[in-house]
Amino acid sequence: MHLSYRVLNRATLDRQLLLRRAKMPALDAVRHLAGLQAQAPFPPYYALWTRLHGFRPDDLARLLLDRRVVRIALMRGTVHLVTAEDALAWRPLVQTVMTRALAADSQHKVPLSRVDHALVTKAAVELLAERPYSSAELGAALAERFPDAPAGAHTHLVRNGLPLVQLPPRGVWGKAGQPTYQHASHWLHAVAAPAPDPAALVRRYLAAFGPAIIADVQTWSGLTKLSEVVEPMDLRTYRDPEQRVLYDLPEATLPDEDTPAPPRLLGPFDQTVLSYADRTRVLPEAHRKRLITQNGLVKGALLVGGHVGGTWETATARGLATLRLTAFDRLPKRDVAALESAGRRLLAWAEPELEHQVAWAEGL
């Protein structure tokens, strides 16, 4: 069976809870979405706001403080916010990704060649058994023991070699602070660690992003050679318009291609636009460089007709919070009105103490 690009787009929006807001607890949403992009502290909050009915920042902040979700380097070596169980199950699977990134790093390669990696990571485990450490503290403590490499190189080594959780208040709404690390086994000592299972990881990806080609799963996870995992699995298969094989869960359903896709405000670094080898199912190639900057920053996006059609950003000054919308093309009046309404709701949610203003960049 062949699937059109339109069906793939609607399937993505459906599984990413973007066709309609879901009524589910924040923890269930984080689990369903296979985690949330979290390079910066607060994008996960915006991701859940646009997907869930009645979501409040404290709903996610409490989960971090209660150790039910954590911030940890996972997919592609990038910080994600995931459930405690997923952190323990997935971190061993992506160790190959972290090791590959360490070997490819040119900045720290030479100084790290002068130290024994196993001894450094063992020392880091011993230090973290005593208390959490900030990046600067951990690097300095290791450099004191192993002076042949500077502090920054040591921090880079253990971040890639150990499952380090970023502790609150990092990532807690309205709070600030540099990353402070603890070994996942210490921070999550009360959580039963599921057995690492690549096939289970693939199923979770498909539940959140499918149907998808193998290259999509590899792009999301950073893992390679996943055909060896995917092809023996009991999965449904389709073909996309390019005749590539798409895999999906046998029990998964697909929305009709005529299903309406209401306008949405996607937060910065939203995983919907980052988790495919072929991002054009939601991000037209003509707009890619306008959404994703050269240094890898991903702006908040306007989702119009199911595809990225602009960007948004907020600014506060003198008691006023402004949300500025930029459209890449002229929009229908109904979409303009819907996005303005969404913008007012977002400001009321994010900045309840301030006055609010929604404005369009010139040229709409």
Q: Summarize pLDDT for 210-233 with one digit per residue, the tens.
A: 999 999 999 999 999 999 999 999
DSSP bridge pairs for 212: 247
pLDDT band at 290 (very low <50, low <70, confident <90, very high): very high
* pLDDT tens digit sequence for 96-142: 999 999 988 888 989 999 999 999 999 999 999 999 999 999 999 99
Taking alpha carbons only, the member of 161, 200, 201 closest to residue 184 is 161
| pLDDT at site 295 | 84
> Beta partners for 266?
301
* Best CA proximity match to 6, nearest among 241, 270, 311: 241
Q: What percent of the chain has pLDDT over 90?
A: 93
In this prediction the pTM is 0.95
pLDDT band, residue 88 (cuts 50/70/90): very high
Q: What's the pLDDT score for residue 12?
A: 98
Strand ranges for 318-363 from DSSP E: 320-327, 355-360
pLDDT of 363 over the 60 cut: no
* Amino acid symbol at 122: K
Q: What is the mean pLDDT of residues 263-285?
A: 96
- What 3-state class would DSSP assign to 348? helix
Q: Give the tokens for residue 19.
A: 């066709």
Q: For position 364, what pLDDT does the model report?
A: 54
pLDDT at residue 80 is higher than 90? yes
DSSP conformation letters of 264-308: EEEPTT-GGGTS-SSGGGTS-GGGHHHHB-TTS-B-EEEEETTEE
Contact between 111 and 153 under an 8 Å Cβ cutoff? The reply is: yes
Q: Mind listing the pLDDT tens digit for each residue in 340-361?
A: 999 999 999 999 999 999 999 9
- Is it the case that residue 91 has pLDDT exceeding 90? yes
Q: What is the pLDDT of residue 105?
A: 85
Mean residue pLDDT of the chain comes to 96
pLDDT for position 176 = 86
Give the Cα separation of 175 and 62 in Å (integer): 13
Q: Residue 94: its pLDDT value, please?
A: 97
Q: Are 313 and 300 within 8 A, CB to CB?
A: yes
Q: What is the pLDDT of residue 187?
A: 97
Q: Give mean pLDDT, residues 40-52.
A: 97
Q: What is the mean pLDDT of residues 293-298?
A: 87
* Residue 172 pLDDT > 90: yes
Q: What is the pLDDT of residue 175?
A: 93
State the CB neighbour count (10 A cutoff) for residue 199.
14
Q: Is the dihedral of CA 122, 127, 129, 135 positive or negative?
A: negative
Q: Flag whether pLDDT at 286 surpasses 60.
A: yes
The predicted pLDDT at position 232 comes to 96
Pairing of strands 320-327, 355-360: parallel
